[in-house]
Structure 1
Amino acid sequence: MLRDMPSQVVRWVRVDFGLDLTTLDEVTHGADQHARLWLGQTADGTRYAVKLSGGGTPAGLVVTAYLAGQGVPGVPAPLCTQDGRLSGDRDGRRLSVVPWVSDERALDGPMTDAHWRAYGEVLAAVHALPVSEELAGLLPPGGAAYPSIVAATRALAERLRDPAPADPAGPLVAELAAAWSAVTDAVALLTRQVERLATDERLWAGPVVVCHGDPHLGNLLLGPNGQVWLIDWDDAVLAPPECDLMFLLGGVLAFAPITAEQQRAALAGYGQVDVDPARLAWFLAVRALDDLSDWTRQALDTGAAAADRVRAARIVRGLVSPVGLVTLADVALRGLDG
């Protein structure tokens, strides 16, 4: 990126969206490696999330515009450019602007029962909407990337099974190898069952709906009086509701399991739930393998900053802990045979 990127982005926002930003501060807590995010502010104090995306598709913007237009609560609508588009095109990257609705992430602060209930209400409203023709042609099916996820997991397992002393990733290789060794049987089960269940027609017999695809607490913002906003819809998919509900019923909302009290409050907002255990376990297992392989890859990336690699390794250790996602998915899959 150019050193003067912020001033360049300010100019782009003025040209594309007609907004005069007086400040533009980079936000660094996001996990998207192909995007940069800034908090921009105009002279009257109005704040905006300004994002420059270099990967993926514009599906997230189309989805949020549709959901907000249908009156779904808790979904900030993207601003349109001066010629009516959802994003500007800047050197092959998408420039988007969305109202900045809150500074408080659910991941950083305690949620009240009202927040949990509102979270469930947002998911219910999203799942209840009919799928438009545009979304049907744009959104990928949930879990469609499972073959590449399984392949990446097996490749990393092979590398860590017998780490070479001269591996360029250094001491982290041995550390991650030890972490993976504790869940060798679980990872093997997850990869086998993900492939097996994916071919079971019964798994896909139910209706598909618009799903956020990644509604964890890092993508949830809190406001007063129980208000919540669900952001970052770049992973939106068409899938059975279990694709989103695994974050409630599978306990993967954050880096610690959701409590029974929190779950009850969220489900009170969501309403009646008719969940297929196999479907829930399958999405949980795919997510577990995806997180495990991706964070391990980042930890072993010698081109990344040392602090980022250490953080990735810490997340891997959490994933394979007794209350981590790999363990939760393993329990869910084994429970199908009980």
Structure 2
Amino acid sequence: MNQATINTMETKANITSREMGQWLHTQYSLKPKRARFLPYGECGWVYLVEADTNYVLKLTQPGLCTGSGFKESIIKTHMALYYDYGIRQISEPPLRANSGQYINQLGEYEAILLPYIEGTPALEAGLTEQHQRKLGSLIATLHRCKLHEEEAPPAEVFSVQLARLLGDMLRHTATIDGHANDIQQHLIHVLRERYPQLKKMAAQFAALAQVLRQDTSLAENFVLCHSDPSSGNIIISPDDNVYLIDWDTPIMAPPERDLFHLRQWATAIESYKSVMGTTELDNRVLHYYQLEWDIQEIVDYGSRMLYFEQSDSQNEHDWSELQDHMRGIGLL
């Protein structure tokens, strides 16, 4: 299983500190001392806003990555988990701005503001046995939540959209030779060279998606999933607690949607099973989510480099990360 890459933004958003400060004052009545860019944003930009209390400002642009963009309905799910179910090992929900909205426009970006959780990402700190036990228990707690229909996030449909997006990107590489920069030329060369393997991967993904859609028993056991409890979305606090952040894409899905990520931590899986009872994982579903991850990384990084105007440093970062990912799954 390859999960080495984290799809992060390495360069700041196209907005000045003054504009950001004025916006924070207008929308949230804050007087920030400073806003420090954090290169942790997955398909977006993240700033630590230092004021009397610290906050996280998250920015995104629709279409930047697959499924990117904030949604009011998802914020309702987040609020239900935090306030109604009292689950405190997750980040607090976004704050309502003076506009009355949770999602607001900041220049060319959609923006939300959340209370900051002091700590270190597991991507940097790693997870001890104790951390893994807490994580497994937390995921089990989430999976046992029974949300009301109006609070529940969308349900898994085993979409083949990523296979189509990959196909579109591969076809697009045939049309931009004369207008490509150096990074794009490297990317185009690799995509063309690995076309047979990529086409086979997409076909396997689409075929497996069809099999899972036809298995009606899966939907009967859907649970609330975070969808990406990977090391970049886990915070270890100074008092050694584990917090799950980035509640942008929760989903009602098979438990394997989250357990796919937890497989790298044996103690977390054991802790999960001790809470839920013996749980047999469906290898078909795990394989689907592995293929989805593999393809999504290629589509997201590739699309950003091909379709978006980015700085040279961001393109270089994305190209380096994509190469690491493709090596990890045997494509380079």
Question: In which range does the TM-score fall when normalised by the shorter chain?
Answer: 0.7 to 0.9
Q: 1:312 to 1:81 in 2, by over 3 A?
A: closer
1:41 matches 2:43: no
Aligned-partner SS, 1:24: strand
Please list, as runs of the form range in 1=range in 2, the aligned pairs for 1:101-120 lying within 5 A after superposition. 101-120=117-136
Q: TM-score, normalised by structure 1?
A: 0.76
CA distance in 2, matches of 1:163, 1:87: 40
Q: Which amino acid aligns with 1:23?
A: R
% identical aligned pairs? 18
What is the deviation of 1:21?
3.2
1:132-167 per-position Cα deviation (integer Å, ceiling 9, x unaligned): 22223xx222355x332111112233455x787535
Q: 1:81 to 1:191 in 2, by over 3 A?
A: closer
- In structure 2, the partner of 1:96 is 112
Please list, as runs of the form range in 1=range in 2, the aligned pairs for 1:200-211 lying within 5 A after superposition. 200-202=214-216, 204-211=218-225
CA distance in 1, matches of 2:179, 2:95: 49
Q: 1:155 to 1:276 in 2, by over 3 A?
A: same
Choose which of 22, 25, 42 in structure 1 pairs with 2:33: 22
Contact map agreement 1:203 1:279 (CA 8 A) in 2: no
1:133 matches 2:149: yes
What is the deviation of 1:85?
5.9
Choose which of 269, 272, 284 in structure 2 pairs with 1:270: 272
Contact map agreement 1:172 1:299 (CA 8 A) in 2: no
Aligned-partner SS, 1:176: helix
- In structure 1, the partner of 2:309 is 303
- In structure 1, the partner of 2:6 is none
- In structure 1, the partner of 2:87 is 72
Q: 1:86 to 1:213 in 2, by over 3 A?
A: farther
1:124 matches 2:140: yes
Choose which of 242, 247, 251 in structure 1 pairs with 2:261: 247
What is the deviation of 1:107?
1.0
- In structure 1, the partner of 2:42 is 31
- In structure 2, the partner of 1:252 is none
1:79-99 per-position Cα deviation (integer Å, ceiling 9, x unaligned): 643789672644797653322
CA distance in 2, matches of 1:286, 1:313: 20
Query: Does 23-32 or 184-193 show the bigger shift?
Result: 184-193
Provide the alpha-carbon RMSD of the alignment. Answer: 3.2
Q: Which amino acid aligns with 2:58?
A: K
Aligned residues: 303
Contact map agreement 2:104 2:110 (CA 8 A) in 1: yes
1:35-56 per-position Cα deviation (integer Å, ceiling 9, x unaligned): x43212233xx32213345533
1:214 matches 2:228: yes
Aligned-partner SS, 1:320: helix
Q: Which amino acid aligns with 1:155?
A: D
- In structure 1, the partner of 2:250 is 236
Q: 1:41 to 1:273 in 2, by over 3 A?
A: same
CA distance in 1, matches of 2:198, 2:15: 44
CA distance in 2, matches of 1:191, 1:247: 18
Choose which of 173, 180, 183 in structure 2 pairs with 1:168: 180
1:225-244 per-position Cα deviation (integer Å, ceiling 9, x unaligned): 54111111111111111111
Q: Which amino acid aligns with 1:270?
A: Y
Contact map agreement 1:61 1:86 (CA 8 A) in 2: no
Aligned-partner SS, 1:133: coil
What is the deviation of 1:105?
0.9
1:19-46 per-position Cα deviation (integer Å, ceiling 9, x unaligned): 443332233331224xx43212233xx3
Q: Which amino acid aligns with 1:319?
A: H
Q: For CA contacts below 8 A with separation 6 or more, give which structure has more relative contact order.
A: 2
Query: Does 95-104 or 212-221 show the bigger shift?
Result: 95-104
Q: 1:60 to 1:163 in 2, by over 3 A?
A: same
- In structure 2, the partner of 1:150 is 163
- In structure 1, the partner of 2:9 is none
Q: TM-score, normalised by structure 2?
A: 0.78
- In structure 2, the partner of 1:193 is 207
**What residue ranges of structure 1 are gaps of 5+ in the alignment?**
250-257, 328-338
- In structure 1, the partner of 2:64 is none
Contact map agreement 2:157 2:213 (CA 8 A) in 1: no
Aligned-partner SS, 2:178: coil
Q: Which amino acid aligns with 1:37?
A: V
1:105-131 per-position Cα deviation (integer Å, ceiling 9, x unaligned): 111222211112212121111111102
Aligned-partner SS, 1:183: helix
Contact map agreement 1:203 1:278 (CA 8 A) in 2: no
